[in-house]
Amino acid sequence: MLNLAGHSVYDHLASAGVPLRAAATFGDGLAGALWDRNEDATARYETPSHHTLSLYVSGGLAFRRRLGEAAVPSFGPGSLCLMPRGASSEWEVSGPIRMLHLYISRQAFDRAVVATIDADPDRVHLLDVPYFQDPVIESVMRQVVLPLDWNEPSERVAISHAAETLLAYLISRLTERGPRALEARGGLSPAALRRVSEFIAAHLAAPLSVMDLASCAGLSPHHFARAFRRSTGESPHAFVLRCRIERAKEILSGGMAVSDVAALCGFSSQSHFTARFRQMTGVTPGQFVRGI
């Protein structure tokens, strides 16, 4: 499990002995952590060095955010909290909770502001929102981020895409500039799509991220993902996974061991490779080789 020391909210929870269930980097300047907590305490985050988006996955009904003499109650499971960089906050902790955190560095935020709304990052600030509910954010965090194996190289495109999508959404709808629709963009140029396709084919064994692919196209990760889908009809993750499985079929036909094929096609384990292969083809690698 990755240690995210240096992220001040993470450091506070780790120093308090809060059990950490998962932690990983999600991309350039983006990271996530999954925490379980069950105690009565007060938590104070003093001028955090990064932005934090928090989802109460389960529990948390008795949690409160202190605002002077008042206390704002949570909604329980499904509650979202947005804590901007540099904004101190104090919380009343009570009872069990599972929390999913997305940590956003200043560099990642500034980069995404330019790419998403083409604005001066110094003039765009995330809102400090104690508790709110948003079905789009909750859906991405529950249905995409949580089910993925964060440390599986072959899932890196999906997890980085999800994190970049959440960041773009926050910038578009939860900043002091107010809501602003994302700009419609066209697809990739034929030359850019060819560069990306060739890069993927040459690096199927590597833990590719959406940032890697976007760099080939000369676009921000957010705009790349939208343009890529317009050009191919698939998300970057689905496209890469399909390429990996097609390459695996070619290698399996040559008689190579399944474990070696998994490594050559960017899967960290034979079991993960087998699960994805069956998902895509309806048969296991062994059944494919035997012609079943």
Report which of 21, 9, 30 is spatially closest to residue 163, judged by C-alpha positions.
30
pLDDT tens digit string along 234-262?
A: 999 999 999 999 999 999 988 889 999 99
Structure tokens at 258: 């399944």
To the nearest whole number, what is the mean pLDDT of the chain?
A: 90
Percent of the chain, pLDDT > 70?
A: 96
Residue 181 above 60 pLDDT? Answer: no
Candidates 106, 83, 133, 146; CA nearest to 6 is 106
Rounded Cα distance between 103 and 42, Å, is 21
Token digits of residue 241: 């996974």
Q: What is the pLDDT of residues 42-66, one digit of tens each?
A: 999 999 999 999 999 999 999 999 9
Give the mean pLDDT of 210-231: 87
Q: How far is CA 69 from CA 65, 72, 90, 95, in A?
A: 11, 10, 12, 22
